[in-house]
Amino acid sequence: MIDWGSWLNQPILLGGFVILAWAYALASGPLRPGLAPGIPFPRKSAVRFHCGLGILVLALGSPLDGMARTFLCSAQTVQDLLVLYPAAALLLSGLPGWMVDPVLGRLPRPVGRTLLGPVVCGAFFVIIVSGWYVPRPFEAALGNGAVRSLRAIAYLAAALLFWWPLLSPSRIFPPLRYGARLLYLFGIEVALTGVFTYILMADHAMYPTYAHAPRLIAALTPAEDQVLAGVLLSFFSSVVLVGALGLNFFRWARSDAKPLK
């Protein structure tokens, strides 16, 4: 059944985690005097970055991955949610501007503004999140380790792009203004309705791997597990999107409030 001692058993992902941690340590340590002279070690940023990396390990390198790959569609959705929201937000907010701007500064400004703008970021996020839930690519990722790693990389890239217009640490390509952030979040919430409906309204189990898998929870049929996956995806995505919308609206209102005399 599930090997609870199985951690970090995908070489591609393990290598990715090591490279991310090593690159951050290098940039924030030996390379920092050249990148940001006089700037102290970014402790708070480092804590956020490594918390995000820890959530990635929990999502992609723990026994949760075995459950998602073999037994439960709802486990796959929990894995996706961890990558899309807390992991990516913490990773991005853990990158100081002086660490990313030397790389982004190589991009022509029009190209960077387009690639990191709300239209491209939002569209890429919606397409990746929705597209991988189509049965054929979904099944391919369950049955092939390389495709599964590709799916994980695509989800992480989409998640980082989703958060960029909201949390960008860059001075070259900064976050959106508050009004634009509200439109961006509302647009993504509406666009994701399609995948929510697709999973929730299906009248049969769409993924053969789960339909024929042994039942980890006897009372949970494959069709019910799929509906649970849709509920989790729609509920927690809406919590994040509506919560971010409300928080940004509050900050916008507070920033425009005139002090009483």
Q: Could you give the percent of the chain with pLDDT greater than 90? A: 78
How far apart (Å, rounded) are the C-alpha atoms in residues 56 and 77? Answer: 14
CB 67 within 8 A of CB 75: yes
Q: Grade residue 257 by pLDDT with cuts at 50, 70 and 90.
A: low
The model's confidence at residue 261, banded by pLDDT at 50, 70 and 90, is: very low
Instruction: Name, in order, each residue with C-beta under 8 angstroms of 99's C-beta and a sequence gap of 6 or more.
Output: 27, 28, 35, 36, 169
Among 11-15, 40-44, 197-201, which stretch is predicted with the lowest mean pLDDT?
11-15
Cβ contacts of 136-141, under 8 Å, gap ≥ 24 = 138/206, 138/207, 139/207, 139/208, 139/209
Q: What is the mean pLDDT of residues 119-144?
A: 95
Give the span between the Cα atoms of 129 and 38, in whole angstroms.
41
The residue behind tokens 């491209």 is 120
DSSP designation for 30: T
Under 8 Å between Cβ of 173 and 102: no
For residue 66, give the nearest of 3, 114, 21 by alpha carbon.
Answer: 3
φ/ψ of residue 39, rounded to 5: -85, 130
Report residue 1's pLDDT band, with 50, 70 and 90 as the boundaries. Answer: low
User: Contact 114/120 with Cβ under 8 angstroms?
Assistant: yes
Of residues 183, 192, 191, the one with CA closest to residue 234: 192
The predicted pLDDT at position 4 comes to 64
What pLDDT was estimated at residue 8? Answer: 67
| Per-domain boundaries in the chain | 11-255
Can you tell me the mean pLDDT for 65-92?
A: 95
CA nearest to 54, candidates 20, 27, 98: 20
Position 17 confidence tier, pLDDT thresholds 50, 70, 90: confident
Distance CA 156, CA 142 (A): 17
Q: How far apart are CA 13 and CA 153, in angstroms?
A: 9
CA 104/CA 115 separation, integer angstroms:
11
- The model's confidence at residue 33, banded by pLDDT at 50, 70 and 90, is very high
pTM: predicted TM-score of the whole model, two decimal places: 0.92
Long-range contacts of 118-121 (CB under 8 A, 24+ apart): 118/165, 118/176, 118/180, 118/183, 118/184, 120/161, 121/161, 121/162, 121/164, 121/165
Lowest mean pLDDT among 10-19, 168-177, 207-216: 10-19
